[in-house]
Structure 1
Amino acid sequence: MKFLLQSTLIIITLSFFTACGEQAQQQIIHQAKAIESSDECHLCGMLITNFSGPKGELYRKDRGDKVHKFCSTRDMFSFYLDPENKRNVTTMYVHDMSKMPWNEPDDGYFIDAKTAWFVVDSEKTGAMGKTLASFSKQSDASAFALEFGGEVLDFSQVDQASLM
């Protein structure tokens, strides 16, 4: 009888955690969306596809499935680093620039911004001038920095000073 009671409690507990995990996962998983020719930057309003360099996208937990698209990683971080926005952002994507030419970002190569590596202060520019080159691998970011200058940072190191 004791074994049956323990087994029942274990099953109930596992079911509870599984259900909670599935619900949390459903709430925060969003996919990167293709940038269309008519999409405007959420921060500055410029047409995103008119400019070279990496772009960004993010989702806020208070906006459901509405994606906010940005003409550059710099604009995306400018938006994200505002404390009001930062605590509400669930998912962020940037282009992996090791997979494509600077002048032709490919939406098939969006990566999770929170695991990406960024090069700041390079000679490459984006929509609003200086931008952060984004890469899935630190080695690719370092190679880019060697060729075009700049400093390699991980996501947690990007702050307002990095955007200046």
Structure 2
Amino acid sequence: MKKLLLLSALLLIACKEELAEAPDPMPLTAENVAHYCMMNISEHPGPKAQIFLSGVPDPIFFAQVRDAFTYLASAEQDGYVAAVYVNDMSTVSWDRPGAENWMLAQNAHYVVGSDKPGGMGAPELVPFSDPARALAFASRYGGAIYEKHEVPEQSFLAPVDLMFGQEENG
């Protein structure tokens, strides 16, 4: 019993230390470029994401939340992820997603499958802190609402034909 209590206490301490390591999100600036395309992300509409890797002081920025999910699921992601932040779209507009309205990705409600393309023209995962705002967005633009762990992989791993804004069928 003592060993079980000791193990539980150690796990709790480790968990608290892991949470303490998570850096604060960085404000979006005109100098930030998207990880995949190296384009200035403030010039593109829709929500953005940033990922901090352990031991790296600056985040990796993404022009679309979808791209961040793809990165997390890819073999390219070889570092320990310290934190993932997404724009909270609850109180901002599509064309001005905000520079400092970041929230932890795991706390967001995501609208998936809407007809609003993301900043790079691909389908987007639209994050909201407020589930009522997510529902209002989905009612207006289509899509379904998911928690982070429920977002279907097909929504961010499926190939996209950007010339026509349609997913490929093959």
Q: TM-score surpassing 0.5? A: yes
Q: CA deviation at 1:77?
A: 1.0
2:162 maps to: none
Report how many aligned residue pairs link the two structures: 148
Unmatched runs of 5 consecutive residues or more in structure 2:
1-5, 159-170
- Per-residue CA deviations over 1:95-139 (Å, capped at 9, x if unaligned) read 111111110011221111111011111111222221111101222
Amino acid of the structure 2 residue aligned with 1:79: Y
Alpha-carbon distance, 1:20 to partner: 5.9
1:22–1:97 distance in 2 versus 1, CA, 3 Å: closer
Please give the per-residue CA displacement for 1:12-68, whole angstroms capped at 9, x wherever unaligned: x9xx96976764444x2211111111211112212101100000001112x432211
Of 130, 141, 148, 1:137 maps to 130
Counterpart of 2:118 in structure 1 is 126
Q: Does 1:109 align with 2:101?
A: yes
RMSD: 2.4
SS of 1:79's equivalent? helix
Residues in 1 aligned to 2:16 and 2:149: alpha-carbon distance in whole angstroms? 27
The 5-angstrom pairing of residues 24-39 of structure 1 reads 24-26=18-20, 28-39=21-32
Partner Cα distance (2:14, 2:146) in 1: 34
Aligned to 1:94: 86
User: In 2, distance between residues paired with 1:131 and 1:24?
Assistant: 29
Counterpart Cα distance in 2 of 1:22 and 1:156: 21
Identity of aligned residues (%): 27
Q: Which structure has the bigger radius of gyration?
A: 1
Per the alignment, residue 3 of structure 1 pairs with none
Determine if the alignment matches structure 1 residue 162 to structure 2 residue 164: no
Structure 1 residue 158, shift from structure 2 partner = 2.1
SS of the aligned residue for 1:131 comes to strand
CA distance in 1, matches of 2:142, 2:23: 33
Q: Report the AA paired with residue 99 of structure 1.
A: T
Normalising by structure 1, report the TM-score.
Answer: 0.79
Which of 58, 62, 77 is matched with 1:66 structurally?
58
Structure richer in helix, relative to its length? 1
C-alpha distance in 2, partners of 1:114/1:85? 18
In structure 2, do the counterparts of structure 1 residues 149 and 64 end up closer, same or farther at CA, with 3 Å as the change threshold? Answer: same
Q: Is the 8 A contact 2:26 2:100 kept in 1?
A: no
